């Protein structure tokens, strides 16, 4: 019996591609070329599965263009806003994601962004690489102290909790807002705010870990930024669209915010041009999950789903449901 055919939209880690090729008739993408909707439809001809990744444009139009043979889309990501799940459901196409495997790696990057922004790491490395450092000075690159400060976390899921655990090592006081309050064992003494706006006044640092939904799009806007204490630091490792870029840039320019540490951007890879000239913006290119161990785990989780459905006719363990 022939193996089901699966098209990979991107170049994936070697161990992931090896397992994909072992269990499926795999159409790989060694040049990592980006598919548009017509190109993906052509590449998926005769395929039963699509292994995609964050950033792939799998909106309604692209899904409608997929050949009738496609039965499943497995995304190499936790977030799945790039896949129109409702459009896939109308076609009878299953969609899965990769939860639970990038918590620690993303929490590590959140702390890197927090520390990098607070301690002016971008300015320091730029000074060195430009051969502009003339030696230590008493007032040089004075940043924001981290130890003992208040950290507010918007979205206290697995990554938010892991970030809080790391912040406690810096003796930070944790405040959080979440759709539901955590059990005391998970809360670990953190202060819960049912209203996220009420939390903002208690945030020397604000770390965003909320998903991108219609309710959270541009949630951190100009009005909410003014509720943060002057000199606060904003960190975002969740989704760029949760932040109003114009408002954040204005707050950084005005000095209301001391700094921001950002690993994600609205419309990435085309981030708002206003960020480039800001010395108090510590910017990373969506590196949250970028460790070999994590990317392999993501790929293996995606393959677990494809193998369950296409090889064993079982329900994918990480099946994503269309919006109700």
Report the CATH fold assignment for 103-283.
Rossmann fold (3.40.50)
Enter the CATH code of domain 5-101+292-312.
Answer: 3.40.50.720
**239 catalytic residue (yes or no):** yes
Q: In what order do the strands lie in the sheet with 25-27?
A: 25-27, 5-8, 49-53, 72-76, 94-96
CATH 3.40.50.720 residue spans of the chain: 5-101+292-312, 103-283
Q: How far is CA 188 from the centre of its chain?
A: 25
Q: What is the pLDDT along the chain (324 residues), one digit of tens a residue?
A: 799 999 999 999 999 999 999 999 999 999 999 999 999 999 999 999 999 999 898 999 999 999 999 999 999 999 898 999 999 999 999 999 999 999 999 999 999 999 999 999 999 999 999 999 999 999 999 999 999 999 999 999 999 999 999 999 999 999 999 999 999 999 999 999 999 999 999 999 999 999 988 999 999 999 999 999 999 999 999 999 999 999 999 999 999 999 999 999 999 999 999 999 999 999 999 999 999 999 999 999 999 999 999 999 999 999 999 887
Tokens 């269309």 label which residue? 322
Q: Which candidate in 150, 239, 295, 301 is catalytic?
A: 239
Q: Which candidate in 150, 286, 295, 301 is catalytic?
A: 286
Which H or E run contains 192?
strand 191-192
Overall size of the chain counted in residues: 324
**175 catalytic residue (yes or no):** no
**123 catalytic residue (yes or no):** no
- Please tell me the distance from the alpha carbon of residue 206 to that of residue 153, in angstroms, as a whole number: 6
Q: Which candidate in 81, 123, 187, 268 is catalytic?
A: 268
Backbone region of residue 50 per phi and psi (left: phi > 0; alpha: psi in -120 to 50; beta: other values): beta
């Amino acid at each position: 019996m022939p193996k089901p055919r699966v098209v990979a939209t991107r170049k994936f880690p070697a161990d992931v591609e090896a397992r994909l090729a072992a269990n499926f008739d795999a159409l790989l993408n060694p040049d990592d070329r980006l598919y548009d909707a017509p190109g993906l439809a052509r590449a998926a001809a005769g395929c039963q599965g699509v292994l995609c990744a964050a950033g792939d444009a799998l909106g309604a139009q692209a899904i409608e263009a997929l050949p009738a043979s496609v039965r499943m889309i497995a995304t190499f990501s936790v977030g799945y806003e790039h896949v129109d799940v409702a459009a896939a459901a109308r076609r009878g196409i299953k969609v899965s994601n990769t939860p639970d495997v990038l918590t620690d790696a993303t929490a590590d990057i959140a702390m890197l962004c927090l520390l990098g922004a607070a301690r002016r790491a971008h300015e320091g490395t730029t000074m060195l690489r430009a051969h502009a450092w003339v030696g230590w000075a008493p007032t040089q690159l004075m940043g924001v102290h981290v130890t003992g400060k208040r950290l507010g976390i918007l979205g206290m899921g697995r990554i938010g909790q892991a970030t809080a655990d790391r912040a406690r090592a810096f003796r930070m006081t944790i405040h959080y807002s979440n759709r539901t309050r955590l059990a005391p064992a998970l809360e670990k003494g953190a202060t819960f705010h049912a209203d996220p706006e009420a939390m903002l006044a208690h945030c020397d640092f604000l770390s965003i870990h909320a998903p991108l939904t219609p309710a959270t799009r541009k949630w951190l806007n100009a009005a909410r930024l003014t509720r943060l204490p002057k000199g606060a630091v904003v960190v975002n490792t969740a989704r760029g669209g949760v932040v109003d870029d114009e408002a954040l840039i204005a707050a950084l320019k005005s000095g209301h915010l001391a700094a921001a540490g950002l690993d994600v951007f609205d419309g990435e890879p085309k981030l708002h041009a206003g960020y480039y000239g800001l010395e108090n913006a510590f910017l990373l290119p969506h590196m949250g999950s970028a460790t070999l161990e994590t990317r392999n785990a993501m790929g293996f989780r995606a393959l677990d789903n494809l193998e369950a459905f296409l090889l064993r006719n079982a329900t994918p363990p990480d099946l994503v449901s269309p919006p109700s």
